[in-house]
Amino acid sequence: MRKYLRSGYRPEIDGLRAFAVVAVIINHFNKDFLPGGYLGVDIFFVISGFVITSSLYQRPSKNFKDFISGFYERRIKRLVPALSVFVLITSVAICLFNPEPGFSLRTGLTSLFGLSNLYLFKESTDYFAQSTELNVFTHTWSLGVEEQFYILFPLLIWFSGFGRQTKNGTRNLSLIIVVLTITSLIGFLYLYPINQSAAYFLMPTRFWEMASGCLLFLGIQKRKSLEHLLEKVPPILVLAMIVGIMYFPMSWAAASTVAVVILTSILIASLKKKTATYNFFTNPKVIYIGLISYSLYLWHWGVLSISRWTIGIHWWSAPFQVALILGLAIASYRYIETPLRKGNWFGKRWKTLAVGGGVIITLSGGLITLGKPMKGKLYTGTDQRAIANTKNYWRNQIKLGNSSLTGEKCHADRSYTQEQLKLLFNECKYPLIRKSSNQKTLAFVGDSHTLALLNAEEILTNSGFRVIHYSRAGCPFPIPPHGINPRECNKFLLNAENEIFQDLKSGDAIIIHNYHISHLGDNNLKDTRNNMFNKNKDIVSDSLTKINLYMKGLKELSIKASKKSISIYLIGSPYRNNDLMFLKEWFRPYPISAKTLLEETIIAKQLNKELSKQIKDRSMKNMTFLDPLEILDENCGGNVTSFLECFRDSDHMSDKSSKELLDFFMKNYLRSHNQ
């Protein structure tokens, strides 16, 4: 233990780091084992604030330049080497298994500059969604938060007088931190229900957590009575409470975060010698896990994410994946972290800062090269053209020019010009005019799922109905009150709605089929692809707000349709999974597991149940909700083999399923209206 007892060093803090990183890793392996293990990151934040404040306490500095350059030199030595090596190796690795690694590479690139949290926020990422697990650099958001904290915090330390050891320095710093902590916490609690991405990823809404560690240090330094009070708290009880909170439901996430931050602060203060908890945390093996926790945090996500791209994570693979994570972390700590952190790189601080910046810029160039000029060159799977054909299989099934229906020519791609869109609205009616005054019209509208549904064209051809088809990739219909993103969808959707209502009359019907429906959930129901905005033009991320906004759009459509006695049919959420993960490759023998299928089914059924309930509660009497899972359940539900027959990719239905769904719709709904 002697090597751990150097002056000022608290070995139990490294033990607490070990606890935090193990909780995070368990959660990322399988959320069922420790649902709130992600709170280990919040424990890290508190530790970071405590350790940084203690490291700057009474540290001699000649002047501000010496103080600030010394601080950033230590941060660069601590963070940059291990992060750079991890980003380089992992970027190359993901390119081997993902032909479209752009999102991961951009996240890795921004992580080098401490900005990945801002990038993920900009992309409206849901940290708890399944798609997030496939981005090999998602976890670097927390490093971005800390690095942005490190930009602000040393300035507060110096200009408050704390860093210069002035008479009122500690008091000034305490007052400033208290005000900022309260402001930050209020922001976190306010934003979490309405904009979870902002509350989760942004430094200002996370500042209070690191500031809590700072306030703890200041409090026990200047108020010995506080330290004596906290020492009386049994640390084993506090630790047990933290573990218990990690099993709270996700709906309590904000409260759980606040509770864990408070309890972590108490635990740090109460961890004193001769207690069982202290003895555990100062066990040499536990301390070692804490010492390598930074490298463990970096590498565990990379290994797990790439595993999800390849063999998956199973009971039989977990031991090998744990061994690989440990091996990479130990190697990183021993050969990169330790020698470069402790070594005197170039004798002068400015050289260290310059070289650190140069490494980041050089590596950034490498990532840009991987993402653009070399895109797909390292991929070891099926040729990308085959992948594109698989993903867009439904496009190739339309007999262009020979189809009796509108087909591909009426599906607008995101690249369509205004002239092409104008042509689409003029031509996408079959026939252009009604064959007779009583011929009924079906208006199919939505995104690519609408086009996939129309693969079952012979059902419509033989039905005697007239068909309108307006769809655009990635654009859900109808438009919610405050719009969606990409915003170019808004104009298309409004034009489509106007065209439909100008054409339709009493007895006609609108059929809506959107992939977007699958993305109305949050942590428990998955997250969004097509972002929605509230009245303040802020992106909303929580499930209930998104569903409420979409339902407002449907309600407006329902009122407008009821005035003309037009029926509306909304098709619910199908199964869904990542497009590329759907494909079987030499490195991916199990493209979709029974467990994943079950999880996706449960999620989709939950969402469909909620949507159906909302339609009834809002008295949309001219709207009928169709749950494709109930209609297709006999042939598509329950096992992977039947799923692969019913869906040609991650979510678009096969011709077989489209025919079954459309046939059900025609027989059981439209004909009930004497059509």
| pLDDT at residue 306 greater than cutoff 70 | yes
List all residues 6 or more positions away from 152 whose beta carbon is below 8 Å from its beta carbon: 207
pLDDT number for residue 527: 41
Q: Is the pTM of this model over 0.85?
A: no
Phi first, then psi: what are they for 331, rounded to 5°? -65, -40
pLDDT number for residue 477: 86
Q: What is the mean pLDDT of the chain?
A: 83
pLDDT number for residue 411: 78
| pLDDT at residue 567 greater than cutoff 80 | yes
The share of the chain scoring above pLDDT 90, in percent, equals 41
pLDDT number for residue 17: 97
Strands 484-485 and 466-472: unpaired
| pLDDT at residue 448 greater than cutoff 70 | yes
As a whole number of angstroms, the distance between CA 573 and CA 528 comes to 13
pLDDT confidence band for 400 (50 / 70 / 90): very low
As a whole number of angstroms, the distance between CA 418 and CA 409 comes to 15
Q: Quick one: how many helices (H) and strands (E) in the chain? A: 29, 10
pLDDT in tens, 466-491: 888 888 877 778 888 877 766 677 88
| pLDDT at residue 646 greater than cutoff 90 | no
Task: Estimate the crossing angle of helix 349-371 against helix 64-97, to 10 degrees.
Answer: 20
The 3-state DSSP class for residue 139 equals helix
pLDDT in tens, 8-20: 678 999 999 999 9
As a whole number of angstroms, the distance between CA 582 and CA 568 comes to 32
Greater model confidence, 98 or 165: 98
Closest CA to 587 of 174, 281, 309, 288: 309
Q: Lowest mean pLDDT: which of 286-300, 429-443, 563-577, 650-664?
A: 650-664
Closest CA to 143 of 108, 104, 169, 171: 108
Q: Lowest mean pLDDT: which of 153-157, 227-231, 310-314?
A: 227-231
| pLDDT at residue 536 greater than cutoff 90 | no
Greater model confidence, 166 or 350: 166
Q: Taking residues 246-251, report their average pLDDT.
A: 90
pLDDT confidence band for 5 (50 / 70 / 90): very low
Residue with tokens 């059509």: 675
pLDDT number for residue 618: 92
Whether 6 contacts 227, CB under 8 Å: no
Burial status of residue 344 (CB atoms within 10 A of its CB: 0-12, 13-18, 19 or more): exposed
The 3-state DSSP class for residue 531 equals strand
Whether 559 contacts 162, CB under 8 Å: no
pLDDT confidence band for 355 (50 / 70 / 90): confident
pLDDT number for residue 226: 73
Q: Lowest mean pLDDT: which of 57-71, 229-243, 639-653?
A: 639-653
| pLDDT at residue 3 greater than cutoff 60 | no
Q: Lowest mean pLDDT: which of 20-29, 194-203, 231-240, 526-535?
A: 526-535
pLDDT confidence band for 128 (50 / 70 / 90): low
Greater model confidence, 509 or 345: 509
Greater model confidence, 563 or 432: 563
The 3-state DSSP class for residue 446 equals strand
CA 443 to chain centre: 34
Q: Lowest mean pLDDT: which of 83-87, 342-346, 542-546?
A: 342-346
pLDDT number for residue 16: 97
pLDDT in tens, 154-180: 999 988 888 777 778 889 999 999 999
Whether 648 contacts 394, CB under 8 Å: yes
Q: Lowest mean pLDDT: which of 28-32, 188-192, 520-524?
A: 520-524
249: left (phi over 0), alpha (psi -120 to 50) or beta: beta
pLDDT number for residue 331: 97
pLDDT confidence band for 669 (50 / 70 / 90): low
pLDDT number for residue 232: 83
As a whole number of angstroms, the distance between CA 573 and CA 187 comes to 34
pLDDT confidence band for 671 (50 / 70 / 90): low
pLDDT number for residue 388: 45
pLDDT number for residue 129: 61
| pLDDT at residue 70 greater than cutoff 70 | yes
| pLDDT at residue 590 greater than cutoff 70 | yes
Whether 575 contacts 600, CB under 8 Å: yes
| pLDDT at residue 246 greater than cutoff 60 | yes
Q: Taking residues 38-53, report their average pLDDT.
A: 96
pLDDT confidence band for 520 (50 / 70 / 90): low
The 3-state DSSP class for residue 342 equals helix
Highest mean pLDDT out of 81-90, 440-449, 515-524: 81-90
pLDDT confidence band for 2 (50 / 70 / 90): very low
Greater model confidence, 234 or 273: 234
List all residues 6 or more positions away from 614 whose beta carbon is below 8 Å from its beta carbon: 547, 551
As a whole number of angstroms, the distance between CA 568 and CA 443 comes to 9
| pLDDT at residue 525 greater than cutoff 60 | no
Q: Taking residues 129-152, report their average pLDDT.
A: 89
Q: Taking residues 137-155, report their average pLDDT.
A: 94
Residue 42 tokens, joined: 């919040």
